[in-house]
Structure 1
Amino acid sequence: MPHTLDAAAVRDWCRLSLAALGQAREEIDALNVYPVPDGDTGTNLFLTVESAAQQVEAQFSVGAAHGDDPSLESVLRAMAHGALLGARGNSGVILSQLLRGIAASVGAGPCDAPALRRALRRAADAGYEAVAVPVEGTVLTVAAAAADAVEGLPQAAGLSVVAEAAFEAAGAALALTPQQLDVLGRAGVVDAGGRGLVAVLGALADAVSGQSPMGPLALATPVTTPRVVVLPAAAQRPHVGEEPEGPAYEVIYLLDAEDEAVPQLRARLGGLGDSLVVSGGDGLWNVHVHVDDAGAAVEAGIEAGRPYRIRITHFAGAAADQSAGHPTHTGELSPTRAVVSIVQGEGLAGLCQECGATVLSADPDRAPSSAEIAAVIRVAHAREVVLLLNDAELRAAAGVAADQLRDEGVRVAVIPTRSPVQGLAALAVHEPARRFDEDVVAMTTAAGATRYAELAVAEGESWTMAGVCQAGDVLGLIDGDVAVIGPAAEMVTTASTVLDRMLAAGGEMVTLIVGEDAAPGLADALVAHLRRTNPVVDAVVYEGGQGAAPLVVGVE
C-alpha cells in the first residue's frame, strides 16, 4: 500500500475515474435536473476526465521516450491542464477547478496523508472561488464535505484512510443534496455533478490503496444515496415550442487572458446571466455561463483576451430536438449504411476493409478517445452506422461518441464486441439491404455466438484465476479470464491447451488471428494439432499484425 500518491498512482486515478464515469454516465445524465435539465452532466464529466487522462498519458509517453518516469508535479499539472482544456458543462468546469486546486496544493510533493488533506481543502476552496454564485446541494457541497471529513481524522491516519474517508463523506453529503436544493427534492434525485465527484473520489481511494485497474469504490454507488426517481423526459425538459426557465443559451469558451482581466470579466458576465463558472489561472481560463445574449458573452471574452473553442448551445432548441426525436446535422449524409470497426494491426484493418468496414486503427498502448471514435463515424458519412468495438474497454468512450453523432442526425448502433473475432463474425452476416434493426440483431447474434480467447504476455507477477503468473509467462485468456498459464518458451503448448478447452464445449469453425509477437510457426502448429484432435472442425488463419495479443482465437 503506497504511503504517498506518486505519478503512477495519479495515472491509475485518471484511468479508474474514466472507467467509473463511463459506467455511471447514463445514470448521471438521468440525474441532471440542475441548473438546466439537459441530461448531459455524466457525458460532460466523462469528456472532462477523458481529456485529463490523455494529457497524463502524454506525460508518460514523453518520459518513456527519454528513458525515465514523469514527476508527480508534471503529472498533476497535466491532469489539471487536460481537464481545463476539455471541461464541458457546468460540472466539468467545476471539476477542472477542483483538480487544479489539488495540483497547486501538492506541487512537487510528496503527496502523503497530510498533503492530501490540504489538497482536498484547497480543491474545495478553489471550486467555490470559481463559481460566481455558489449554491449548496451541488458538487461544491460534496467537495466541501470531503475536505471537512479528512480534516477531522486523527493525525496518524494514513493516505488510504484519508482517501476512503473523503469518498465516504462525499457519498453521505450527496445523499443530503435533495434536502438542500428544492429542484432536486421535487425531482427525487441527488445532484448529478456531486454523483460524478463521488465516483472520482472513489477512484482516488482505489488508486492509493492499489486497487487497480478497477477497484470496488470507483464503481460503487454510495449506500447512503437515496433511491433515484427519474422523472419522465416530458417532466424534466421543456415541451416543444416552450421556452425553458432561465437564460436561453449556454456559452463556453477557453480564454487566453491576463489574470488581472478576469475580475472585470466575471463582473461583466455576472450581469449578463447566471451559472457563471470561470476556472483556470496563469493566463488560461475556461469560461462557462448561461445567458440570453450569447454574442455579448463572447464579446466580454474578447475584451478580456482571446476566446477560442467557443461552444454555444440553445437550450430550447436542444430540448426540442430531443423531444421530437429528429436531431439535425450540418452536412449532407449518404443514404447508405456503414459499419465502423475498431481494430489493432494492419492485417486486421485490411481484412475489415475488405469486408466493407470503415476502420479505426487503434494503438495497442492507448485506447482511442471518444472524439477519435466520433471522427471516424463522421468519415463513414452515412445515415445509419453500426459500430463494432472489438474491445470491452471501449464501451464508455463509444457510448459518448454515439450520443454525439445521434445529436447530429446519425443513427448509431453500438455492438459491444469484445474481440476482433466477434467483430469478424458480425461483419460476415452484415446485409445492408435488410432493415437497420434487423441487421443489427443479426450481427449481434453472430457476435454473441462466437466464443473468443487470446494469448497475452504477463508484464509482472500477479494473481490470476489460474494461479500466480510471473513476468514473461504466456497467459491464455478465455472470454476475458485467465484460464491457462505457461512458460514463455511454450507458447504453442499454451495455445493448444486454450484451443482444446474452447472446443470441449463444441464448435464447427476455428478462427486464428496471428499477432506480430507470435512464436514462429504458431499457426501451423495449431492447425496441425486441430487436425489430429478435431478433424471435423474447420480452421481459417489470418495475419492480423496486432501488437497487444500474439494470438486471438474464435470458435463458432
Structure 2
Amino acid sequence: MKEINGKMFKQMVLSGAIVLHNNHPEVDALNVFPVPDGDTGTNMSLTFNSGAEQVEKLADDTPIGDIAKTLSKGLLMGARGNSGVILSQIFRGVAKSLKGKETANVSELSDAFSSGAKVAYKAVMRPVEGTILTVIRESADAAAKYVQPDMEIEDWFSYFVKSAEKSLDNTPELLPVLKEVGVVDSGGAGLLLVLTGFMAALAGEVIEKVDNVGAASDVEIVQEEEKPYGYRVQFTLKIDDRKMNAFNLDGFINELKNLPGKNVDVAQKDNKVIGNVDTLKPGNALNTGLRFGEFTKVTVVNTEVSEEEKEEEIPMAPAKEMALISVAAGDGIKDMFLELNCDHVVSGGQTMNPATEDIVKAIKGVNAKHVIILPNNSNIVMTAQQAATVLEGEVDVVVLPTKTIPQGLSAAIMYNPEATLDENVDEMKEAIANVKTGQVTFAIKDTSIDGLEIKANNYMALCEKKIVACVPDKLEALKNVLSNLVDEDSEIVTLICGEDVTEEEQEAARSFIEENYEDVECEVHVGKQPVYSFIVGVE
C-alpha cells in the first residue's frame, strides 16, 4: 500500500500491544541486574496497553493524526518506569509529526518516527547510548535514508524493523555492562516487539493475545478461585536438579496459600513449575520458590485496586500552600513517610512502578500551590517528572530526584511545611547528598557483574548501585553492606527490615550493629517492603 489511514494505524497499534504483552516476560529476563523486579518488559507492556486501550475505543474512520494523538495521551498517562516514559515520548513525537493528517504516506511515516527519536532524546537529561534511544534513532535514520517516492509502506517498514533488529543486536558493543552479562538492551527489545506487531498488522496477520502463564494439557493443575487481592505474582520456576527430591507440589501450593495467598494456580511438568498466586506479600512468594530453584519468568502486578476504583480521584484535601508526596512500597515504610509530614504516599517501588496518572492524581489530591515529590527509586524519577510536565501551569511541582528510600526519608525529615519552597528544596537536597544507601536482596539467576559471580537464590549486598557480595545468608549480606558503607564519619545507621525478615533476624541485625559500630546511633524499623530484606541508610 502507498499510504495508511486511521483504521490501519489503529490495527497496527493494537497488534503492537498484543505482541509486546505476549513477549514481555522475555524482555523482563533481559534486565542486567538479577533482582526480582521484572520491570522493563512489564512496564513497557502496561504503558503501551494504556494507549492501545484508548485507541481501541475510536471509530475505524478516525484520521491517523487523531489516532496518534489518542495513543500519545494514553501512553503519557500510563507510562511506568524509565522505559515506559521513553516509549511514551517516542510516540509523542510520532503524534506531533502526524498532527492533522487524514492518512500518511511512506515519507510522512518515516518523518514521524524520526520525530519520535528526536523527542525521546530531548526528554532524557543524560541520554545513554546502547539503549532504546539508540535503537529508535539508528533505525529511524536508516529507514529515512531508505525512503523512495511512491515506495510501498510494507517494504519500508520491513526495512525499518530490520534496522531496529541490527541496532538492538549492537547495543552490547555500546554499553559494556550488557556485553559483560551477555544480553541486549531490554528497552530496545521492547520497542522492537511493538514495531514487529506493527509490521504484522501491515502484512494482514492477526496476532492472538495469549496468557503468559498457560500450562500444557498434560500438566497437573491445582487451582483455587477467589477474588484477587494484593499483588499477582506470575512465574515460571525451574527446579534445581539437586532439589528435585525435596520439592513437593502439594507442599509448595500449601506454602503459597499460607502466605496467605489466593487464586493459587500452579502446574508442574518435570522440573518446570508455572503458575500464579495473589498475595499481599509478593517478596515472600518469590522467596518460597527460590528455595527450590531459579525463576526464568517473573511478573508482579498490583491487583488489589479494582478497575472502578482506579478511575476514582484521590479525595481532595483542603487547600494549602505546600505539600509533600512520596513513593514507597511496604506498609511500614509508608507509615514512616506519613509520620514525617508527608501528605500522601503513592504505592510503588521496585516491583511495581506507578504510572504517570497515579502521580498526577496524587498531586491534584493534595490540593496545594507547590508540591514536592520524592520518587525514591531511579526508575520512577522520569515518571514523576512527566507528571509534573502534565500539570505545568496548574501546579508548581518540584521533583527531587531521590533514588532510594533512605534518600527520601532524609529529605522528608528536613521538610518544613511552614518554610518557603526554596528553603525546603535547599535543605532537602543537602540531606539527600549526605546519605549513603545499602540494600540486601536475593538473586534470581546466575550471572556475573563487575567480575563478581552471582548465584541464584543467594543474597546480594548492594552499596549504592554496586553489588559488593553475593552470599547464602541475608545477615551475612547485611554485614557486607555495613562494612562497605559505615566509616569513621558515620553518625547514624537506619535499618529497615523487609517482609521476609523474622523477629529473630531483626534482633540479630540490631545486635550486630550495636556491638560492632559503637560510635553510631542505630535505628531499626519494620518496613514490610517486598523484594529487599534490608534497606540501610548511613549518614
**Normalised TM-score (structure 2):** 0.50
1:495 — aligned with what? 478
1:352 — aligned with what? 337
* 354, 379, 386: which one aligns with 1:400: 386
Q: Deviations over 1:275-327 (max 9, x none)?
A: xxxxxx99xxxxxxxxxxxxxxxxxxxxxxxxxxxxxxxxxxxxxxxxxxxxx
- Summarize the alignment of residues 12-27 of structure 1 with structure 2, pairs less than 5 Å apart: none
Deviation at 1:389, TM superposition (A): 0.5
Contact 1:390 1:418 in 2 (8 A): yes
1:84 aligns with 2:76: no
Q: What is the identity, as a one-letter code, of the residue corresponding to 1:359?
A: V
1:132 aligns with 2:105: no
1:413 — aligned with what? 398
Mean Cα deviation higher: 491-500 or 332-341: 332-341
1:381 aligns with 2:367: yes
Q: What CA distance in whole angstroms lies between the structure 1 residues aligned with 2:372 and 2:492?
A: 25
Query: Secondary structure of 2:476's partner?
Result: helix
Deviation at 1:174, TM superposition (A): 5.2
Query: Secondary structure of 1:468's partner?
Result: strand
CA pair 523-359 structure 1, distance change in 2 beyond 3 A: same
> Deviating runs (4+, > 6 A) in structure 1?
5-8, 14-17, 49-52, 89-92, 95-98, 164-167, 198-201, 203-209, 215-219
1:555 — aligned with what? 538
Q: Deviations over 1:66-92 (max 9, x none)?
A: xxxxxxxxxxxx6883473599x9779
1:334 aligns with 2:305: no
CA pair 137-369 structure 1, distance change in 2 beyond 3 A: same
CA pair 506-91 structure 1, distance change in 2 beyond 3 A: farther
Contact 1:455 1:476 in 2 (8 A): yes
Structure 1: segments with no counterpart, 5+ residues: 18-48, 57-77, 99-123, 145-163, 181-194, 220-280, 283-330
* 508, 512, 536: which one aligns with 1:525: 508
Q: What is the identity, as a one-letter code, of the residue corresponding to 2:352?
A: R
Deviation at 1:336, TM superposition (A): 2.2
* 388, 391, 395: which one aligns with 2:377: 391
CA pair 6-416 structure 1, distance change in 2 beyond 3 A: closer
* 467, 481, 486: which one aligns with 2:471: 486
Q: Deviations over 1:488-524 (max 9, x none)?
A: xx21111012101101373110000110012553332
2:412 — aligned with what? 427
- Summarize the alignment of residues 37-186 of structure 1 with structure 2, pairs less than 5 Å apart: 53-54=45-46, 81-82=52-53, 84=55, 93-94=67-68, 132-134=102-104, 138-141=108-111, 168-173=138-143
Query: Secondary structure of 2:501's partner?
Result: coil
CA pair 533-211 structure 1, distance change in 2 beyond 3 A: same
Q: What is the identity, as a one-letter code, of the residue corresponding to 2:55?
A: L
Q: What CA distance in whole angstroms lies between the structure 1 residues aligned with 2:55 and 2:30?
A: 19
Q: What CA distance in whole angstroms lies between the structure 2 residues aligned with 1:11 and 1:83?
A: 24
Q: What CA distance in whole angstroms lies between the structure 1 residues aligned with 2:434 and 2:427?
A: 11
Contact 1:203 1:215 in 2 (8 A): yes
CA pair 346-381 structure 1, distance change in 2 beyond 3 A: same
* Alignment: residue pair count: 324
- Summarize the alignment of residues 410-489 of structure 1 with structure 2, pairs less than 5 Å apart: 410-465=395-450, 467-487=452-472
CA pair 204-444 structure 1, distance change in 2 beyond 3 A: farther
Structure 2: segments with no counterpart, 5+ residues: 1-18, 32-40, 73-93, 115-133, 150-159, 173-177, 193-205, 208-315
Mean Cα deviation higher: 201-210 or 546-555: 201-210
Query: Secondary structure of 1:392's partner?
Result: coil
Q: What CA distance in whole angstroms lies between the structure 1 residues aligned with 2:450 and 2:386?
A: 32
2:255 — aligned with what? none
Deviation at 1:437, TM superposition (A): 1.6
Deviation at 1:534, TM superposition (A): 2.1
1:516 — aligned with what? 499
Identity of aligned residues (%): 20
Contact 1:206 1:218 in 2 (8 A): no
Contact 1:474 1:486 in 2 (8 A): yes
1:211 aligns with 2:184: yes
1:73 — aligned with what? none
Deviation at 1:400, TM superposition (A): 1.1
CA pair 9-509 structure 1, distance change in 2 beyond 3 A: same
Q: What CA distance in whole angstroms lies between the structure 2 residues aligned with 1:502 and 1:424?
A: 18
**Normalised TM-score (structure 1):** 0.49
Q: What CA distance in whole angstroms lies between the structure 1 residues aligned with 2:466 and 2:366?
A: 34
Query: Secondary structure of 2:445's partner?
Result: coil
Q: Deviations over 1:408-434 (max 9, x none)?
A: x21111011111111110011111222
CA pair 346-83 structure 1, distance change in 2 beyond 3 A: same
RMSD over equivalenced CA pairs, Å:
4.8
Q: What is the identity, as a one-letter code, of the residue corresponding to 1:553?
A: V
Contact 2:317 2:365 in 1 (8 A): no
Contact 1:388 1:416 in 2 (8 A): yes
2:212 — aligned with what? none
2:298 — aligned with what? none
Query: Secondary structure of 1:547's partner?
Result: coil
Higher relative contact order (CA 8 A, sep 6+): 2
Deviation at 1:542, TM superposition (A): 0.8
CA pair 512-92 structure 1, distance change in 2 beyond 3 A: farther
Q: What is the identity, as a one-letter code, of the residue corresponding to 1:475?
A: M
Q: What CA distance in whole angstroms lies between the structure 1 residues aligned with 2:26 and 2:380?
A: 17
CA pair 50-462 structure 1, distance change in 2 beyond 3 A: closer
Query: Secondary structure of 2:324's partner?
Result: strand
1:117 — aligned with what? none
CA pair 334-165 structure 1, distance change in 2 beyond 3 A: closer
1:542 aligns with 2:515: no
Deviation at 1:449, TM superposition (A): 1.1
CA pair 137-443 structure 1, distance change in 2 beyond 3 A: farther
Deviation at 1:457, TM superposition (A): 0.7
Q: What CA distance in whole angstroms lies between the structure 1 residues aligned with 2:64 and 2:428?
A: 39
Contact 1:430 1:439 in 2 (8 A): yes
Q: What CA distance in whole angstroms lies between the structure 2 residues aligned with 1:520 and 1:542?
A: 11
Deviation at 1:440, TM superposition (A): 0.9
Q: What is the identity, as a one-letter code, of the residue corresponding to 1:492?
A: L
CA pair 166-81 structure 1, distance change in 2 beyond 3 A: closer
Query: Secondary structure of 2:385's partner?
Result: helix
Contact 1:465 1:483 in 2 (8 A): no
Mean Cα deviation higher: 337-346 or 511-520: 511-520
CA pair 368-514 structure 1, distance change in 2 beyond 3 A: same
Contact 1:206 1:217 in 2 (8 A): no
Contact 2:372 2:398 in 1 (8 A): yes
Query: Secondary structure of 1:546's partner?
Result: coil
Q: What is the identity, as a one-letter code, of the residue corresponding to 2:490?
A: G
